[in-house]
Structure 1
Amino acid sequence: MKKIINSAITLAGIFLLGACAKIDSEFTVKSSSKTLTALQINFADGTGGFTPTTPEPYGSDITVEIPWYYPEGSLNETSLDSLFISGSIPNSSYMSPAFGLTNLSSPKSYTLTAQDGSKNEFKITAVRKRSSKAEITSFKLKEADISGVVVNNKVIIPYTDVDISHQTAVVELSYYAKISPDPSTVHDYSQPVQYTVTADDGTNVVYTVQLGTPVKLEKGFGSVKKLWSKSSGDLGFEDYRQISIAVSGDYFVLPNSNEWVDGSSIKYYSRKTGAAAGNLNVSGVERIYSIANDKNGKIVGINSIYAGNNVCLYEWDNVNSAPKLLARTSDWSSVGGAFYGRKLSIYGDLSGDAVIMATTDGSNVAGANNILKWTVKNGTIVSQDPEVIKYPKGYDYVAKAVPTGPNATDDFYFCSNSPSFISYLSGTSKTVQYSFSSNFIANARGNTPALTYFEFNKAKFAAVIDASAYSSALHIFDVTDPSKISTSSSSGNYASFHVFDGSSDYVACPSANWNVTGDIAVGPVSADGFKMTVYFLVTNGGVVAYELNCIDVNAF
């Protein structure tokens, strides 16, 4: 852990100690630590968020690719003469020259010097790169009104009785790509048709459009694709304010969580592109702290203690609706007067049956150590006052309780950021049944600010953030069998448990996230049942959208 403040009392104590006795030789050894991590490059306005082409630990030559156009989809050409470099180095070391606003039109050399005087040399090169994406993102036969399913370099047209021998097609491509032959001309799709998609950098991919029936994997997903990544500058973040995320319809939703300021501010963005789309109606809603969504995209927000209105839950049917008061506690007893609402989660349908969970601060920081649970039956909240569950182990500020079913007796997960631990608890006895291994991620950053539970293609998953103040990564674990959640990274069965590793695709924080917070939300499963999207939020860092796909690419 890197310290940022040295108190005057501590310094005075050191001076006093020095006057009375010799310092133990163990503490006179100077650090040789000179590791560079969490490197990120942004444009001068804070947008961007580009990381090296090679993962940590970095070698002496570091290359960062800067897109030819930015933001993606625009024709705004980029420049390398005004880029902002940030990264993490040990407190006992220093970088020369210092990172910051830099002209990277040519490579620039840096020296990282450890406390003991040893050095590490780095050469950072920025390269403008045209897009290599040559993807068909959607395909539809126009006259027959039949959508194809894109699987790798195939487009599968479901078998049909409709005559498709004379059809034009409506095709969406990755930005800047071109397609040949022209799909708007008539083709006979009763036979395979080939298209060549050419990326902006000249990369060619040949796609075959053919009749068939996509087949799902027996369970779970087979591939993960990054749809887009938006930095904190792209999304207009303010430091420490974006700590939770929800999904509603075609949008993801981010509150500006500032418990010190009156009122509330909640923005929503396009799920498809990450572009800002509007602001939630927050009339009469005071100091929303965190949010979550139910299975149909209804949004729930919880207030903070400074709202002074007891614990309140507010509900929005969608991003265009007005808020409604869902619950207001009769007093402060459920939170013991302590801070609450940093995390919120929902399982189920608020118009039917659902469970809502929130947490207070933990006993390690003089909090109540409580989990708050509201149950919704047949569209009606059972009680304005939540069931209060005292968690059996102390924790600090950031913790999240996550239900796995819509009933009061369904089991739930509990995730603590510091100390870091994840447990699976019985919904009836409220006791811990299983716990994640302390080594559930190899070379972990060390904090677990969020866990989100979801189900997809007959399997159950826990998406977990592995975080430090400087960078965070998303990991997904198959928890279909809860007894296997204690699997260690050294186990021979680890690959079947750890089904997605995003450590090499980390999100860096140009402004250190000392609270080490973040969140995860999931979108609905696509109508054909083949895809779903996971949204990964890093406070001070940005948001990444990942698409999970359960199509068996070897079977049609």
Structure 2
Amino acid sequence: MKKLFNSILTIACMFLIGACAKIDPQFALKSDSKTLTSLQVNFADGTGGFHPTTPEPYGSNITVEIPWYYPEGSYKETSLDSLFVTGTIPNSSIMMPSFGLTNLSSPKSYTLKAQNGETQVYKITAVRKKSNKAEIVSFKLKEADINGVVVNNKVFIPYTDVNLSNQTAIVELSYYAKISPDPSAAHDYSKPVKYTVTADDGTTKEFSVELGTPVKLAKGFSAVKKLWSKSSGDLGFEDYRQLSIAISGDYFVLPNSNEWVGGSSIKYYNRKTGATAGNLNVTGVNGIYAVANDSKGKIVGINNLYAGNNVCLYVWDNVNAAPKLLARTTDWSTVAGAFYGRKVAVYGDLSANAIIMATTDGKNVGGANNVLKWTVQGGQIISQDPEVITYSKTYDYVAKAVPTGALPTSDFYFVSNSPAFMNYVNGVSESIQYSFNSSFINNPRGNIGGAAYFEFNNAKYFAVDDASAYSSAMHIFDVTDPAKISTSTSSGDYAAFHVFDGSADYIASPSPNWNVTGDIAIGNVSADGYTMTVYFLVTNGGVVAYELSCIDPNGF
């Protein structure tokens, strides 16, 4: 990706040279823009990633809460005397003093000066705060070996013939929380049992454990819960290296992508906590650039041009498995000598039927503008050489083709980072059927870093990364009816189309992500069918994990 960055830098230099031309003073208008966005506070070592307590647009007084202990789950106390502040300001403005490492033991004022001389003062206050989380995360009757389902302030025990009159329970709580009465003591769960959970800051929440069966919505999800957010420092990122993400079993997988270095390096992390768990076996695998997962958690990796081994796909059955060569093209004709492998996507089960798609760089930067499509049927790849689709609309470096089915004729989405566009493409004619409206969200950042298609509870969704060099946020759209894809923010149908807005959970990139890259990966639906997880990656920024639930909160 350094090649991409260098090209952008060259263009920026050309722009600056051109900007030196004199402008008639009577037409020279100085900007009055002095709005601060995407504020984030980290610890000095890059861990953290804390946002203001109020959403944008920020007022003149900004408060950022710093957890009492960090990382979450530890008892390591935090301090406010060495925090790193980042934020996005208009190109023509100046922040005085500059953001960076600072002592926020007491409030600090910053003055943002617009090009025309107008100023806006922002006072930033950091506050240490004990956790207010008072949740039952999981609940299990030990002797009966029955898992409860947690819905808001109730835990439902499925109806059973087992005698529940003398049961102990294994309960997982929010970090630092306590529960009363003691669930390890026997209780009669044939009738409701009341519990009080107390957070570290004293916040309390009452729960009732009772017999019952949650009811699913007829279609789609009812709630989205942020499970955790980890910064680039927490996850050990290197600038411009974490470009794609895959899910396998209890883990998420992040390759360290670098076309200039031989070999491959791929880490995997606990997807429940975000903690580093190990390194993927990459014996005999050179130049893995992007990864994706199939519906069973098998990991697919694609190499890059400088691996010098033609276009190769590798597969890992799980994070403990050795890699296997899935496909190797006979020559370079499929990519016409262009760079490839920045994105890869899979739909289906590689042990049965699946479609794998990858892209080359686009014609706008001298690339081939190709989509590569491999078909797997009956667990066997049909051809070592992919079907090649030369895409009808030109793009720059980063694009992603996302299949929506496991048949060779299945439709697919095509997403371009720059210029930003998203299209729904007919899998037979390869023609664009529908396009996302340019105003698919309010105040877009201007680029599309990543995307994913998924199905959940009788509905179809498309998740998109709205990105800039400084911050990115994830949005989810209901695309069950593809004709709705062109819905704009001004439409009366927009609320039913734009079903999740992750703007408040944006990930900032303390080291600007000039390539504006990232990705989205989808975990499996839970065994009971009630939940599924979505993982959102931002290069140079971090990862956020979300849980989607299709339980009707009012239907039991």
Q: TM-score, normalised by structure 1?
A: 0.97
Alignment partner, residue 391 of structure 1: 391
1:38 CA drift (Å): 1.2
Alignment partner, residue 412 of structure 1: 412
> Match of 2:519, as an amino acid?
D
How do residues 451-530 of structure 1 correspond to structure 2 at under 5 angstroms? 451-530=451-530
Distance 1:168 1:437, change over 3 A: same
Looking at structure 2, the residues matched to 5 and 96 of structure 1 have their Cα atoms a distance apart, in angstroms, of 28
Q: Deviations over 1:474-496 (max 9, x none)?
A: 10011111111111111101111
How do residues 512-551 of structure 1 correspond to structure 2 at under 5 angstroms? 512-551=512-551
Distance 1:112 1:454, change over 3 A: same
Looking at structure 2, the residues matched to 412 and 91 of structure 1 have their Cα atoms a distance apart, in angstroms, of 37
1:26 CA drift (Å): 5.9
Partner SS state of residue 485, structure 1: helix
1:27 CA drift (Å): 5.0
Alignment partner, residue 266 of structure 1: 266
Looking at structure 2, the residues matched to 363 and 114 of structure 1 have their Cα atoms a distance apart, in angstroms, of 38
Looking at structure 2, the residues matched to 167 and 303 of structure 1 have their Cα atoms a distance apart, in angstroms, of 53
> Match of 2:319, as an amino acid?
V
> Match of 1:397, as an amino acid?
Y
Distance 1:390 1:166, change over 3 A: same
Distance 1:27 1:324, change over 3 A: farther
Alignment partner, residue 175 of structure 2: 175
Alignment partner, residue 103 of structure 1: 103
Q: Deviations over 1:6-65 (max 9, x none)?
A: 8777666666x55xxxx3346522222212111110001110011111111111001100
Alignment partner, residue 370 of structure 1: 370
Alignment partner, residue 244 of structure 2: 244
User: Considering only aligned residues, what root-mean-square deviation do their CA atoms show, in Å?
Assistant: 1.3
1:555 CA drift (Å): 1.1
Alignment partner, residue 324 of structure 1: 324
Partner SS state of residue 504, structure 2: helix
Distance 1:252 1:332, change over 3 A: same
> Match of 2:63, as an amino acid?
T
1:450 CA drift (Å): 1.4
1:257 CA drift (Å): 0.4
Q: Deviations over 1:257-293 (max 9, x none)?
A: 0111010000000011000000000011101000000
Looking at structure 2, the residues matched to 93 and 123 of structure 1 have their Cα atoms a distance apart, in angstroms, of 17
Alignment partner, residue 437 of structure 1: 437
Aligned pairs, number: 549
Distance 1:301 1:224, change over 3 A: same
* Residue 44 of structure 2 corresponds to residue 40 of structure 1: no
> Match of 2:110, as an amino acid?
Y
Alignment partner, residue 187 of structure 1: 187
* Residue 296 of structure 2 corresponds to residue 282 of structure 1: no
Looking at structure 2, the residues matched to 508 and 427 of structure 1 have their Cα atoms a distance apart, in angstroms, of 36
Q: Which moved more, 1:32-41 or 1:535-544?
A: 32-41
Distance 1:66 1:391, change over 3 A: same
Looking at structure 2, the residues matched to 98 and 401 of structure 1 have their Cα atoms a distance apart, in angstroms, of 40
1:5 CA drift (Å): 7.1
1:91 CA drift (Å): 2.3
Distance 1:7 1:62, change over 3 A: closer
1:231 CA drift (Å): 0.3
Alignment partner, residue 199 of structure 1: 199
1:375 CA drift (Å): 0.2
Q: 5+ unaligned residues in a row in structure 2: which ranges?
A: 1-7
Distance 1:5 1:380, change over 3 A: closer
> Match of 1:546, as an amino acid?
Y
1:250 CA drift (Å): 0.3
Q: Deviations over 1:48-100 (max 9, x none)?
A: 01111111111100110000000000000000000001111122211111111
Looking at structure 2, the residues matched to 300 and 357 of structure 1 have their Cα atoms a distance apart, in angstroms, of 11
> Match of 2:389, as an amino acid?
I
> Match of 1:402, as an amino acid?
V
Looking at structure 1, the residues matched to 19 and 175 of structure 2 have their Cα atoms a distance apart, in angstroms, of 59
> Match of 2:507, as an amino acid?
V
Alignment partner, residue 424 of structure 2: 424
Looking at structure 2, the residues matched to 26 and 157 of structure 1 have their Cα atoms a distance apart, in angstroms, of 75
> Match of 1:226, as an amino acid?
K
> Match of 1:336, as an amino acid?
A
Partner SS state of residue 234, structure 2: helix
Distance 1:414 1:264, change over 3 A: same
Q: Deviations over 1:168-193 (max 9, x none)?
A: 00000010000000000111000000
1:116 CA drift (Å): 1.4
Looking at structure 1, the residues matched to 154 and 16 of structure 2 have their Cα atoms a distance apart, in angstroms, of 66
Partner SS state of residue 449, structure 1: strand
Partner SS state of residue 447, structure 2: coil
Distance 1:14 1:393, change over 3 A: closer
Q: Deviations over 1:484-543 (max 9, x none)?
A: 111111110111111100011111111110000000001110000000000000111100
Q: Which moved more, 1:297-306 or 1:441-450?
A: 441-450
> Match of 2:144, as an amino acid?
A
> Match of 1:506, as an amino acid?
Y
Distance 1:144 1:35, change over 3 A: same
Looking at structure 1, the residues matched to 157 and 16 of structure 2 have their Cα atoms a distance apart, in angstroms, of 72
> Match of 2:80, as an amino acid?
L
Q: Deviations over 1:369-389 (max 9, x none)?
A: 100000001011000000000
Looking at structure 2, the residues matched to 137 and 503 of structure 1 have their Cα atoms a distance apart, in angstroms, of 25
1:232 CA drift (Å): 0.3
* Residue 119 of structure 2 corresponds to residue 119 of structure 1: yes
Partner SS state of residue 504, structure 1: helix
Alignment partner, residue 291 of structure 2: 291
Looking at structure 1, the residues matched to 399 and 55 of structure 2 have their Cα atoms a distance apart, in angstroms, of 29
Looking at structure 2, the residues matched to 14 and 487 of structure 1 have their Cα atoms a distance apart, in angstroms, of 38
> Match of 2:311, as an amino acid?
V
Partner SS state of residue 219, structure 1: coil
Looking at structure 2, the residues matched to 183 and 512 of structure 1 have their Cα atoms a distance apart, in angstroms, of 48
Alignment partner, residue 155 of structure 2: 155
Alignment partner, residue 253 of structure 2: 253
1:396 CA drift (Å): 0.8
Looking at structure 2, the residues matched to 174 and 8 of structure 1 have their Cα atoms a distance apart, in angstroms, of 50
> Match of 2:290, as an amino acid?
S
* Residue 66 of structure 2 corresponds to residue 73 of structure 1: no
Alignment partner, residue 4 of structure 2: none
Looking at structure 1, the residues matched to 38 and 133 of structure 2 have their Cα atoms a distance apart, in angstroms, of 25
Distance 1:247 1:9, change over 3 A: closer
Q: TM-score, normalised by structure 2?
A: 0.97
Looking at structure 2, the residues matched to 313 and 34 of structure 1 have their Cα atoms a distance apart, in angstroms, of 48
> Match of 2:214, as an amino acid?
P
Partner SS state of residue 448, structure 1: strand
